[in-house]
Structure 1
Amino acid sequence: MTTPALWRKSSFSGGGEGNDCVEIANLRPRIAIRDSKDRTRTPLSFPSEAFTAFVTGLKTNGRGETAC
């Protein structure tokens, strides 16, 4: 039996219902990503290390500079 994923939405998901965002779930050793507006679509899945590198790149603008 598998455990359902615990999906989390970004705190930056916007106003209103906050439905204009992506959600992530930690499925060790992978991270799953889905569109919060269409949860029935198949989520994308990445190795945890690749997702961490992606988020770090976003935070540093890919140039080692901290993003706003």
Structure 2
Amino acid sequence: MTTPTGWRKSTHSGNQGDCVEVGRVGTGAAVRDTKNRAAGYFTTTTEQWSSFIGAVKSGRFGA
């Protein structure tokens, strides 16, 4: 398994602590909680990540 690199969080998060960070891993993405980075992360394929981002942008998850 490749170690995630380039961790970043949304600029819309500001200084709030209730955020997630996204990193690059292989040909997909890794996601972790900024409040508990030591808990690890989960990974997705590029296709899964693209589908999730599309759903978020379309408002599928509400507010």
Equivalenced residues, count: 61
Aligned to 1:40: 38
Q: Which residue of 2 aligns with 1:13?
A: 13
CA distance in 2 between partners of 1:49 and 1:30 (Å): 8
- How far 1:5 moved relative to its partner? 1.6
1:35 to 1:3, Cα distance in 2 relative to 1, 3 A: closer
Higher relative strand content: 2
TM-score by length of 1: 0.73
Larger Rg: 1
Gaps of 5+ in 1: none
Instruction: Choose between structure 1 and 2 for higher RCO, CA contacts under 8 A separated by at least 6 residues.
Output: 2
More helix by share: 2
